[in-house]
A and B are shown apart, each in its own frame.
Chain A
Amino acid sequence: MKLTEETVDKMAELAKLEFNSEEKATLLGDMNKILSFMEKLNALDTEGVEPLIYMTDEINALRKDEVVQTLTHDEALKNAPKKDSDYFRVPKVLERG
């Protein structure tokens, strides 16, 4: 399978990222490489093999409905690139139009 620039545009849109045409070309090359690398796996016969989702056999890992507050407000905001005394601040994210 070969990726096209359209796919790169779509992935960028979904990830809310913007690239110039040079960057796109690099990305397209990289993504195609990754895909062809993964395609090697297609050589394996996976007929009847259940997809592996979980790394353990654990089931029903549940907790009681109890409140444990482990972070303070200041700690929560500490790593934010932009904030005020109450909120995280991000560039306006209104839908365009």
Chain B
Amino acid sequence: MKFEDKYEIVIGLEVHAQLQTLSKAFSADSTEFGASPNTCVSVITLGHPGTLPKLNEKVVELAVKLGLATNCQIREVNRFARKNYFYADLPKGYQISQFDTPICYDGYITIKDDAGNAKNIRLERIHLEEDAGKSIHDQDPFDSLIDLNRAGVALVEMVSRPDISSSQEAGLYLTEIRKLVRYLDVCDGNMEEGSLRCDANISVRLKGATELGTKVEVKNMNSIRNVQRAIEFEFQRQCNCLETGETIYQETRNFDAVSGETRSMRSKEMAHDYRYFPEPDLPPLIVSEAYIDKIKSELPELPEALFQKFVKQYGLPEYDAYWITEDKATVAYFLQIIKHTEDYKAAANWMMGKIRSYLNEKGLSIEKFPLGGEKIGELIALVKSGKVSNTVASENIFPALLENPIKSAAVLAEEKNLIQQSDESALSAWVDQVIAKFPEKVAEYKGGKVGLIGMFMGEVMKISGGKADPKVTTRLLKEKLDA
């Protein structure tokens, strides 16, 4: 019997997202990534005596934005709290966080599987806190090296309810969060660089059981794929424990990306005691209705709303709509094109076809694409007018535009002599030529191999240098062959 038939996994995720601010949460030193060690610090970050933190207003704005986009309630009266623990990368001896008054609570994020089935993953809370510094353990045999540049950088922690029931759902949930924070310009969403981090609370129970099993917290997964691998490993490990009667300890385990296994951190099993208490150095933060309304009015259109609009209003296939709404820059470019054309599907095709392969080939992001949306609009119009075929537009004019982005698509088509020939007498001559050249094939066609029409078409195209109007040519070919 497979474990999957007997047991089910219950997962809650805690996601930390670094907020995209210029200065830190409670002090004015820079948040620049990759600066030389210990240069972006201040007396507040270093925890010098007599210093006072002061809250960055941008931090509040970003958290409220994220809360609204994840269907959360926004708390009016917020207090900060001290989470006390001793570690070298936390000079004050406490982390400023929120304990009993998370700024956002009771929200949800909708995930959708490949078949389009939607599920809501509830968010228990999103709270504000500050990041710790970085410890480097492997550079010196005796000392750990401490870089406090990251200490004090603003974070939100998003805590889900245990609503996630597979590694696949965990992946969808994280993908959705990454998409959202990028859309909102709340966080750059980079898991490899650690600006988006995820810890997983994982337990296993008999199918249908109502009580939760003992939960294990897994840390140190720096990609969505690794979160999924860790979940899959834990499921097998915990099921094994249950089958063999081994105890599952409530503990923290580290994921090892090389082996794909989780390992107990074996720190003494004394429950952490963070001795939270209110942070008296920061006065309460009051978030007014008016402030929330203002942020609400400034929210950009969110991916799900755009997806619905693209499908329902623009008639795009769901696959296309999903692809375009993957990130904000792609949406922006699509919107740029459709300012210049009403053929939405054609716009999507250009983006998912030629433009995508050009960007892939050059290793560029859409922001760096050299042509404006109006150029793609011109290409679409050119094809629509029947002046050039789709093939000529994508194989000849598109590359020409990339070389010469100032000229219009129509001018380039003229200059390169690519305008489609739809004049019947010219086409007729080409068709006759082809029919004369392949008497055997003509016989086969007449004998019933009508699929050969494609081959004749190809020959006409060859002679015409790709300029033969395919519709007229097909008609002429059929007329002449069937005669």
Contact = CB atoms under 8 A, between A and B. Distances in A.
Interface of A: 10, 13-16, 53-56, 58-71, 73, 76-77, 82, 84, 86-97
Contact of B57 (A63, A87, A91): A63
Interface stretch (B263-271, B309-317, B393-401, B474-482): B263-271
B300 interface: no
Interface of B: 21-23, 28-30, 36-43, 46, 54-60, 79, 84-88, 135-137, 140, 142-148, 265-268, 270, 273, 275, 278, 280, 282-286
Contact of B283 (A14, A15, A54): A54
- Which DSSP category, helix, strand, loop or mixed, fits chain A's interface? loop
B282 A91 contact: no
Given A63-B56, A66-B22, A87-B146, A92 B137 contact: yes
A55 B60 CA distance: 23
Contacts of B137: 92-94
A77 B57 contact: no
B57 A53 contact: no
Contacts of A97: 265-267
Contacts of B60: 62
B269 to A, nearest CB: 12
A96 B146 contact: no
A87 B146 CA distance: 6
A71 B265 contact: no
A93 B87 contact: yes
Given A62-B60, A64-B57, A71-B29, 8 more contacts: A59-B284, A61-B283, A63-B57, A65-B58, A71-B41, A87-B38, A89-B145, A90-B88
Contacts of B135: 93
B271 to A, nearest CB: 10
4 A-B pairs with least C-beta separation:
A65-B58, A97-B266, A87-B145, A68-B28
Contacts of A58: 283
Contact of A68 (B23, B57, B267, B280): B23
A66 B58 CA distance: 10
Contacts of B88: 88, 90, 93
A62 B283 CA distance: 10
Contacts of B30: 67, 69
A70 B266 contact: no
A62 B54 contact: yes
Contact of B29 (A16, A60, A64, A69): A69
A86 B145 contact: yes
A83 to B, nearest CB: 9
B53 to A, nearest CB: 9
B99 to A, nearest CB: 12
B54 A86 contact: no
A7 to B, nearest CB: 11
A14 B85 CA distance: 7
B280 A55 contact: yes
Contacts of A71: 29, 41-43, 46
A51 B143 CA distance: 43
Most chain-B CB neighbours within 10 Å: which of A10, A15, A73, A82? Answer: A73
Contact of B146 (A16, A66, A69, A88): A88
Contact of A62 (B57, B146, B267, B270): B57
Nearest to B60: A62
A25 to B, nearest CB: 22
A61 B143 contact: no
B86 A14 contact: yes
A67 B39 CA distance: 13
Contacts of A76: 38-39, 41, 46, 148
6 contacts: A55-B280, A60-B284, A64-B57, A87-B145, A89-B145, A90-B88
Contacts of A65: 21-23, 56-59
A90 B143 contact: yes
Contacts of B142: 91-92
A50 B435 CA distance: 98
A28 B267 CA distance: 26
B147 A87 contact: yes
A96 B282 CA distance: 35
Contacts of B280: 53-55
A10 B271 CA distance: 11
A76 B42 CA distance: 7
Nearest to B275: A14
Contacts of A94: 137, 144
A92 B144 contact: yes
B75 to A, nearest CB: 14
A94 to B, nearest CB: 5
Given A60-B286, A73-B38, A88 B148 contact: yes
A69 B40 contact: yes
A15 B145 contact: no
Contacts of A95: 265-267
Contact of B267 (A10, A14, A91, A96): A96
B146 A90 contact: yes
Contacts of B54: 61-63
Contacts of A56: 283
